[in-house]
Chains A and B, each alone.
Chain A
Amino acid sequence: MNNSYFQRDRDWHPPALTPTYKTSVLRSPRHALLSLPTTLSEETGPVFGHDILGPLDNDLIRNFAKDGAEAIGQRIIVYGRVLDETNRPVPGALVEFWQANAGGRYRHKKESYLAALDPNFGGCGRAITDAEGRYEFRTVKPGAYPWPNGVNDWRPAHIHFSVFGHAFAQRLITQMYFEGDPMIWQCPIVKTIPDPAALDRLVAALDRNATIPMDSLAYKFDIVLRGRRSTLFENRLEGN
């Protein structure tokens, strides 16, 4: 049986060692990775049922807010599909996301940036894709954020994504950026991605057709996970 997954294109992903992103210098292996086809151990993965979700899990404007209040900031909807490299939807995929507030401040005990916390914004959400691989959530657009790398480095506005596909081989963490942000190309973390075409896949498009008039802008962000191989000629009849 051939259920193996497409090999990752490691020239498309960021390499481990990217010295302008300084923390990578001591946190990157020096030995080569051991490359092998996937086995059942990687071709399987955990399943998350809709029963884990609460009604506000994909509404960051309200899921941490107190007494009917709402988070402050530019109201946006982020939506898209989780697909695999063969262009098939990935239904039932758990998508987790986290972000800073509208001022660029994260709600995390180790964070010390002077921009204020928003008492009505936590910054975490999650969704499970439907039968067509679709997910959506509502939030405020995160602010840019300074970080101690270079003397004056700032992260562009971004939302972190963690995605579970159907196989542990598909496990992925990435970041979503916003169309037109002039800070994207000055960021050392963005620049860990060697190919501009690969970066394009992480920049969400403003979608005026999906806005809610007088309420929220919308950004579309599709996520692609590794595809499963389907060998045409094998010594058995078998669907895939």
Chain B
Amino acid sequence: MQRLDYLKESPSQTAGPYVHIGTNPNWVEITGVWKDDLGLALVGPETRGERILIEGTVTDGAGAPVRDALIEIWQADADGLHNSPAETRGTADPNFVGWGRQPVAEADGTFRFETIRPGQVPYPDGRVQAPHITVWIVARGINIGLHTRLYFADEAEANAGDPLLLRIPEPARRETLIARRSERDGIPVFTFDIRIQGDNETVFLDM
């Protein structure tokens, strides 16, 4: 039989406990190699859209904080456009890259992103997806990056029709992807706790 000539994807390996040497060297006091660690700031004065804060924790199957995790987010701009050549529907806000990266705090496993509320992005069949942010977690003990999505508690109507949320077989588990809303100094704060294993385990995606 002829062989299909596809290559196989390089297999994943854990990022390990010292991932920050490569991703956030200044944060671990390897200074002078490059000026700024990438991905720390998403929003500048020119960025369009509603400012929001994303906060949360990463916990393991014993409820303990995962103190060495690294979190990346990827999202559309305020109009639902991605700052990527693969975006086909228009030109995204040039003052919003849409990608961020933060190590969690060593003390308690918390993370925090200052960003903007994303606009809506269509599902492949044309349905509207509720506003969401792609979240990717790597750490020691995680063999392949965990991929999930953050949705917003104050978008209940959109969430109710979201094609991805509707595909989660157990409706109660949809709640694990919906960040709780509060407010601080007039800015919406969305709390997104990522539970890798156990009670209220976050839904993780194979996309």
Contacts and interface: CB of A to CB of B under 8 A. Distances in A.
B18 to A, nearest CB: 4
Nearest to A28: B197
25 contacts: A12-B11, A13-B12, A14-B11, A24-B14, A26-B61, A27-B61, A27-B139, A27-B196, A29-B146, A41-B75, A42-B134, A44-B82, A46-B99, A47-B84, A84-B7, A98-B19, A98-B21, A99-B21, A109-B29, A122-B21, A124-B21, A160-B13, A162-B22, A174-B11, A192-B14
A56 B149 CA distance: 36
B151 to A, nearest CB: 12
A85 B9 contact: yes
Interface of A: 1-4, 6-10, 12-16, 18, 21-31, 33-48, 52, 54, 56-57, 63-64, 83-87, 96-99, 106-111, 122-126, 160, 162, 166-169, 171-175, 189, 192-193, 197-199, 201-202, 223-227
A27 B144 contact: no
Contacts of A21: 14, 141, 143
Interface in B1-31: 5-23, 25, 28-30
Given A160-B19, A201-B8, 10 more contacts: A14-B143, A25-B61, A29-B201, A48-B38, A109-B29, A110-B18, A168-B74, A168-B136, A171-B72, A173-B19
A42 B207 contact: yes
B143 A15 contact: yes
B156 interface: no
A63 B33 contact: yes
Contact of B21 (A86, A123, A168): A123
* Interface of chain A, main secondary structure: loop
B155 interface: no
A3 B13 contact: no
Nearest to A159: B22
A224 B143 contact: no
Interface string B131-143: 0101010111111
A160 B15 contact: yes
A25 B83 CA distance: 37
A226 B10 CA distance: 9
A13 B86 contact: no
A168 B75 CA distance: 10
B76 interface: yes
Contact of A41 (B11, B22, B99, B129): B129
